Amino acid sequence: MTIQKSTTHKGLLTAVMMLSFTYVSAQPSTYAGPQSVLIKNGLVKTITQGDLPNTDVYIVNGIIQGIGQELSAPGNIPVIDATGKVVMPGIIDAHSHLNTVSTNEATSPVTAEITIKESIDPNDVAMYHALAGGVTTINLMHGSANVIGARNATLKLRYGADQFGLQFQEAPQTIKFALGENPTRVHGQGTGVQPRTRMGVERVIRDIFDDAIEYDRQRQAYLDQKEAHERRPNRVAPPVPVAMNLRLEVISDILKGNILVHCHSYRADEIVMLVNVFKEYGVENYTFQHANEAFKVAPELAEAGANASVFSDWWAYKFEVYYSTAYNAAILHENGVNTSINSDSNELIRHLNHEAAKVVRYGGISADDALAMITINPAKQLGIDDMVGSLEVGKHGDISIWSADPLSIYAVNEMTLVDGQVLFNREADVADARLDRAISYDQSFKDLQSEVSEAVRGRQDDACMEDAFILFESGLQTEQTHNH
């Protein structure tokens, strides 16, 4: 008996070797560019225009061209029968570190010159896992080690695309800020540089803002005189060059409103501090991430036009986040703060529908408002609500199709489309969804099993302050585990 099994293996190897460098592909469908498709007869949750029963959604070249009944398409356009299913926009996660190569550059309190767009791993199977949960867009963020971290990358989960193809090119630039324990622990306690306290955090922000204003003035004066000198070299003296400063250029863009701030925060006092600083410097349209005490200052946030992106019921993993409530999102929402529910976790991202449902369970908000918290609300926070986050003609064909109401514990995401292409189909789900190019030729089966086990083990059970955010080990910086 066993000989037959062995023969099978050897036969397999021999067959593969005979193919001579051809791949035996078992990967799922990979992104091939915008597609056309007709989704028929589903319960369409538009998010912005109510629920439409027995409705079709027609996507042409990745863009929604029609929403209505009895829509037709040319014969060559694939049709998805959504009878009995719920069709909704793809979920948007406003806080993720899903597929970063590195998450934290924790050696400087301000690292605005860095961009996560240069730290995207396009081969991570975690993207497929997120697609399976109906997620189509994420805010791929820098960690919270620095007061001002790197610029983030808004990604579409175009599984199989390269690091450039994953980027949501039309999305505005966002950047990570962080208040409280993480930056003070890393820099103040870790290396003895400012900030050591929350007061220091504010000082760091004000100082770099002031530096950027002065830099902007000097740089512009230099460029103006340089241009004048080049135009009239005999009449205008050459200027002393002022080098382009990437860090201050980015800060200057924040002050000019070209970059949206997403700020890691917990306590009400630090949240109000940043609101006041931003008001003073004219920074608008920003989002507080985590913001577990934001409910205490919800009216102030609403007045400032600030957004909040929070967990539904996750706290007490370190000292500054012991005080929170599962009513946080609901209170913020009721006070008029645009609020989203995020994952900040490669596991939570796979069931953000459940996280949204908890806001209904605890806070008693409407189901529609809860779904908005994982679709159009995060889209607004990322500045992409004119393209995604709801099902409307002219928006992107980013869609998830559910077996039942997505807020039901029994609902299962059956299909996820990005730009009109089906990138997750539960019926055609593969056991090993890794991309061919992500397969290691020398990784053992045992090591892969450990890796998978780590990836799907659920919430981090060590999310507490004792062993949170271990930054430096044996004097050498190691790759840091992001810890909220």
Footprint (CB under 8 A) of another protein, residues 143-172: 150, 162-164
Which residue from 118, 207, 214, 269 is in contact with another protein, where contact means CB under 8 A?
A: 118
Element (H, E) at 156: strand 153-156
Residue 113 burial (10 A CB sphere; 0-12, 13-18, 19+):
middle
Report CA torsion sign: 453, 454, 459, 463. Answer: positive
Spell out the long-range contacts of 55-61 with Cβ–Cβ below 8 A and sequence spacing 24 or more.
55/87, 57/87, 57/391, 57/397, 57/399, 59/35, 59/397, 59/399, 59/417, 59/420, 60/36, 60/420, 61/34, 61/35, 61/36, 61/420
Rounded least distance, CB 61 to another protein, Å = 24
Task: Calculate helix-pair angle for 198-231, 268-281, nearest 10 degrees.
Answer: 20
Rounded least distance, CB 446 to another protein, Å = 10
How far apart CA 482 and CA 119 sit, in angstroms, is 15
How far apart CA 75 and CA 62 sit, in angstroms, is 17
* Ranges within 232-261 binding another protein (CB under 8 A): 233-234, 237-247
Q: What is the CA radius of gyration of the chain?
A: 25
* Ranges within 259-298 binding another protein (CB under 8 A): none
Rounded least distance, CB 349 to another protein, Å = 22
Rounded least distance, CB 299 to another protein, Å = 38
433 CB contacts (<8 Å, ≥6 apart)? Answer: 27, 28, 125, 128, 129
> Taking a C-beta distance cutoff of 8 angstroms, is the pair 402, 134 a contact?
yes
Rounded least distance, CB 175 to another protein, Å = 13
* Ranges within 184-213 binding another protein (CB under 8 A): 190-193
Which residue from 196, 203, 229, 361 is in contact with another protein, where contact means CB under 8 A?
A: 229
Which residue from 30, 48, 65, 107 is in contact with another protein, where contact means CB under 8 A?
A: 107
Which residue from 51, 121, 313, 392 is in contact with another protein, where contact means CB under 8 A?
A: 121
Token pair 């006041």 is found at 276
Rounded least distance, CB 318 to another protein, Å = 22
Residue 123 or 481: the one with the smaller Cβ distance to another protein is 123
- Contact track, another protein, 441-460, x by CB under 8 A: xxxxx--x------------
Element (H, E) at 66: strand 63-68
Rounded least distance, CB 174 to another protein, Å = 15
How far apart CA 464 and CA 468 sit, in angstroms, is 6
Rounded least distance, CB 109 to another protein, Å = 7
Rounded least distance, CB 266 to another protein, Å = 25
* Ranges within 73-92 binding another protein (CB under 8 A): none
> Taking a C-beta distance cutoff of 8 angstroms, is the pair 97, 143 a contact?
yes
Q: What is the number of alpha carbons within 13 Å of residue 168 lying toward its C-beta?
A: 28
Residue 124 or 398: the one with the smaller Cβ distance to another protein is 124
Question: Rule CB under 8 A: is residue 393 a binding residue for another protein?
Answer: no
Which residue from 28, 62, 89, 109 is in contact with another protein, where contact means CB under 8 A?
A: 109
Which residue from 60, 116, 304, 391 is in contact with another protein, where contact means CB under 8 A?
A: 116
* Ranges within 19-48 binding another protein (CB under 8 A): 19-26
Residue 150 or 399: the one with the smaller Cβ distance to another protein is 150
Q: How many CB atoms lie within 10 A of CB 94?
A: 31
